[in-house]
Amino acid sequence: MEGVAGPETVAAGKGRRTVPLLLAVAALAYAIDLGSKVLVVERLEHRPPVRLIGTWLELDVIRNPGAAFSMGAATTVVFTVIAVAVVAVIARLARKLYSTPWAIALGLLLGGALGNLTDRLFRTPGAARGAVVDFIAVRNFSVMNLADWAITFGGVLIVALTFTGRELNSTRPPKTP
């Protein structure tokens, strides 16, 4: 049948592009992150932590100008630039994207980057220096948000895809004997 991609066509990177999937995953991750931040700021900020699992897991709103574990609080602008670069790189990679797992991984990364970038651009004090809203507190570990989780899961998936030899165009390198 003409116009239908067979296995050999997909293996050559000529199958159906998965950019719509990437965009859908990114939009979903972004919307969930943004919605959760609006809710916790409205209902939980300036209140005592809400215990979910004793003191092991709590909802505790903090404003984080830095990166993971509040590192680099004085370099918020650098993290803003990094987030913009991540978005630009993913946009460039999308042209070669034919792999469903890669679309999911990059979509998670993009949605998470956009979620935290939105905070950096529009939250106090603004102008690329805004503090990210974190609220998922894991005792003796970190306080995170859902964008951080999307970035982490996207990154883990990217590492797994890389180690298994999956390419953006859905090909795999030939197995060596």
Q: pLDDT (tens digit, 0 to 9) for every residue of the chain, 177 residues total? A: 444 444 443 444 456 889 999 999 999 999 999 999 999 999 999 999 999 999 899 999 999 876 655 555 556 677 778 888 999 999 999 988 999 999 999 999 999 999 999 998 898 877 777 889 999 999 988 899 999 999 999 999 999 999 999 988 876 665 666
CB atoms within 10 A of CB 27: 14
* Cβ atoms 146, 33 nearer than 8 A: yes
Single out the residue of 147, 139, 88 nearest to residue 115, CA to CA: 147
25, two tokens: 């995953």
Rounded Cα–Cα distance for residues 4 and 120 (Å): 44
Q: What is the pLDDT of residue 174?
A: 59
151, two tokens: 């970035």
Active site residues: 134, 148
What 3-state DSSP class applies to 174?
coil
Rounded Cα–Cα distance for residues 32 and 38 (Å): 10
Sheet with 50-53, edge to edge strand ranges: 50-53, 57-64, 132-138, 142-144
Q: What is the pLDDT of residue 125?
A: 76
Q: What is the pLDDT of residue 34?
A: 97
Phi then psi for 63, rounded to 5 degrees? -105, 120
The CA–CA distances, whole Å, from 53 to 36, 37, 56, 102, 145 equal 19, 20, 6, 34, 17
Domain boundaries, the chain: 17-163
Number of helices and strands (H, E) in the chain?
5, 4
Q: What is the pLDDT of residue 2?
A: 42
Rounded Cα–Cα distance for residues 143 and 145 (Å): 7
Q: What is the pLDDT of residue 80?
A: 78
Tell me which amino acid residue 74 is: A
Rounded Cα–Cα distance for residues 98 and 80 (Å): 29
Phi then psi for 55, rounded to 5 degrees? -95, 5
